[in-house]
Structure 1
């Protein structure tokens, strides 16, 4: 396997793990960890938004599941296609978070997804050469 493809898949795996953590955080630790992570928000906000956070957690679990699924696909073309699809979803979620919550919050999702997408594109380009 080419270095760009290996790096893209390794980063995809790390992004999947990040989204599993985010899903756990939003589903199960919103009121305990939320005030620590989002220290600029009023602490009483977290108890009031538990259901909303859990809903977001489900979406993050879906992102993680899609990324993990992409890693299990044997056909290189379809693996790259599915990985790219879910990485684009992650990048969009990161951009939305950067615009609506905090730049730092969104960049944690957006930048790794963009790097992984660039590595996937590079590996496709090199494969065609």
Structure 2
């Protein structure tokens, strides 16, 4: 069960690296415009805010990777950062798009369940 939990944690970390790339580097490019349903004008106006959000997603990914690599308190670290991801996803679902609940919160919740079962 621990291996399954670590695989899910790694996938959640990769997802947040992908979001970092979209928000920091591709926000005004076709992939970023499509992913966030932005117009070129709205993307240009919100570029700095998106980059800031991307940085935070990078911190979440870094924390999850730290939990995967840590020997002492590894599960506690993973649980903390998965809870951060989960809460951010719930907030995003309430304020931006319901699909965030399935894209972000559901995998984090799965990781938490697997950690608690292992």
Same fold (TM over 0.5): yes
TM-score by length of 1: 0.86
Once the 2 structures are TM-superposed, how far is the Cα of residue 43 of structure 1 from its aligned partner? Answer: 3.7
Provide, for residues 56-92 of structure 1, a one-character-per-residue CA deviation record: whole Å limited to 9, x for no partner.
Answer: 01100000000000011123xx111000000000001
Aligned match for 2:35, one of 21, 37, 51: 37
Residue-pair matches, total: 117
Indicate the SS of the match to 2:28: helix
- CA RMSD, aligned part only? 1.1
Please, which of 20, 29, 47 is the counterpart of residue 23 of structure 1? Answer: 20
Q: Where in structure 1 do 4 or more consecutive aligned residues deviate above 6 Å?
A: none
* Unaligned stretches of 5+ residues in structure 1: 124-129
Other structure's SS at 2:62 match: helix
Unaligned runs of 5+ in 2: none
Greater Rg over alpha carbons, structure: 1
Alpha-carbon contact 1:95-1:107 (below 8 Å) kept: no
- What's the CA shift for 1:38? 2.4
